[in-house]
Amino acid sequence: MKPFAILANGQALPLAAIPVLEFAKFRRAVIQGVSEDLRLACLCADRSLAGYAVLADEAAHEFRVLRTTFPPVFPSLTPECSQAHLFERELAEQWGLVPEGHPWFKPLRFHPPWSGKDAWQRDAIEPGVMDFYRVEGEAIHEVAVGPVHAGVIEPGHFRFQCHGEQVFHLEIALGYQHRGIERALEGGPYKLTVKMMETAAGDTTIGHAWASALALEALSGTRVPARADWIRAIALELERVANHTGDLGALSGDVGFLPTASYCGRLRGDWLNLTAQLCGSRLGRDLVKPGGTRFDLEPARIADLLLRMEEMARDTANAVELLFATPSVLARFEGIGKLDPHMAKEVGLVGPAARACGRLGDVRIDFPYGPYSDSELPSTVEETGDIAARARVRWAEIQASVAFLRGALDALAELPAGPVSAVCGALAPEHLALGVVEGWRGEVVHLAITNADGRLCRYKVVDPSFHNWTGLAIAMRGEEISDFPLCNKSFNLSYCGFDL
Amino acid sequence: MYKIFLSRLRQGHRTNHYPGETPSLPERLRGLPILDAGHCLEGCRACAEDCPTEAIELSPIPRIDLGQCLFCTACTEACPTGAIRFSQEHRLAARTRADLLLESGRAFKLAEALEVKARSLFGRSLKLRVVSAGGCNGCEVDVNVLSTIGWDLGRFGIQIVASPRHADAVLICGPITKNMELATRKTLDATPDPKLVIAVGACAISGGPFLCQEEQLGGCGGAGIPVDLYIPGCPPHPLTILDGLLRLLGKSGG
Strands A62-69 and A73-75: what pairing?
unpaired
Domains of chain B, each with CATH number or no CATH: 116-248 (3.40.50.12280)
Give the amino acid at A213.
A
Q: How confident is the model at residue B61 (pLDDT cuts 50, 70, 90)?
A: confident
**CA-based Rg of chain A, rounded to a whole angstrom?**
22
Question: B154 CB near a chain A CB, below 8 Å?
Answer: no
The arrangement of strands across the sheet holding B158-160 comes to B158-160, B126-132, B169-173, B196-200, B229-231
Q: How is chain A split into domains, by residue range?
A: 5-120+130-136, 203-461
Q: What gap in Å lies between CA A206 and CA A208, rounded to an integer?
A: 6
CA dihedral A483, A263, A498, A159 (to 10 degrees): 20
Chain A 435-494, CB below 8 Å of chain B: which residues? 494
Residue A153 CB neighbours (<10 A): 16
pLDDT digits (tens, 9 = 90+) for B179-234: 999 999 999 999 999 999 999 999 999 999 999 999 999 999 999 999 999 999 99
Strand runs labelled E in B120-249: 126-132, 158-160, 169-173, 196-200, 229-231
Give the residue from B2, B56, B160, B179 with the most A CB atoms within 10 Å of its CB, the best one to mutate: B179
User: Would you state the CATH architecture of domain A203-461?
Assistant: Orthogonal Bundle (1.10)
pLDDT digits (tens, 9 = 90+) for B138-188: 999 999 999 999 999 999 999 999 999 999 999 999 999 999 999 999 999
H or E stretch at A443: strand A442-450
Q: What gap in Å lies between CA A102 and CA A82, rounded to an integer?
A: 10
**Cβ contact, residue pair A202, B214, below 8 Å:** no
Question: Based on the number of CB atoms within 10 Å of its own CB, is A383 exposed (0-12), middle (13-18) or buried (19 or more)?
Answer: exposed
CA B49 to chain centroid, in Å, comes to: 25
Question: A184 CB near a chain B CB, below 8 Å?
Answer: yes
Q: How confident is the model at residue B128 (pLDDT cuts 50, 70, 90)?
A: very high
**Cβ contact, residue pair A152, B132, below 8 Å:** yes
Strand runs labelled E in A46-156: 50-57, 62-69, 73-75, 98-100, 140-145
pLDDT in tens, chain A (500 residues): 789 999 999 999 999 999 999 999 999 999 999 999 999 999 999 999 999 999 999 999 999 999 999 999 999 999 999 999 999 999 999 999 999 999 999 999 999 999 899 999 998 899 999 999 999 998 999 999 999 998 899 999 999 999 999 999 999 999 999 999 999 999 999 999 999 999 999 999 999 999 999 999 999 999 999 999 999 999 999 999 999 999 999 999 999 999 999 999 999 999 999 999 999 999 999 999 999 999 999 999 999 999 999 999 999 999 999 999 999 999 999 999 999 999 999 999 999 999 999 998 999 999 999 999 988 898 889 999 999 999 999 999 999 999 999 999 999 999 999 999 999 999 999 999 999 999 999 999 999 999 999 999 999 999 999 999 999 999 999 999 999 999 999 999 999 999 99
DSSP conformational letter for A102: -
- A318 contacts on B by Cβ (under 8 Å): 7, 10-11
What phi and psi, each to the nearest 5 degrees, are found at residue B31? -100, -145
